Amino acid sequence: MEINEIINKLNFEKMNGIIPVVTIDENDKILMLAFMNKEALEKTLKTGLMHYWS
């Protein structure tokens, strides 16, 4: 699936341009709850590194 297809499936408008994201480790332990805007999600998908909105 293309990056734009993934981004377009998400509703960023429900929370004023951001979405919640949960980061987990290899054992499915929750490490953090954060937020992403479209730019952060696009950077994450392109680089494989996590980018968050703040």
Tens of pLDDT, residue by residue over 4-49, are: 999 999 999 999 999 999 999 999 999 999 999 999 999 999 999 9
Per-residue pLDDT at 21: 97
Closest listed residue to residue 20, CA positions, set 29, 28, 47, 30: 30
Residues spanned by the domain of 24: 3-47
Whole-number pLDDT of residue 12 = 95
Q: Which of 44, 45, 19 is closest to 34 using CA atoms?
A: 19
Question: Which of residues 54 and 35 earns the better pLDDT score?
Answer: 35
In a domain, 24, yes or no: yes
| 22 in a structural domain | yes
State the total domains in the chain. 1
**Residue 16: per-residue pLDDT:** 96
For residue 28, the one-letter residue type is D
Q: Is residue 25 in a domain? A: yes
* pTM, two decimal places: 0.83
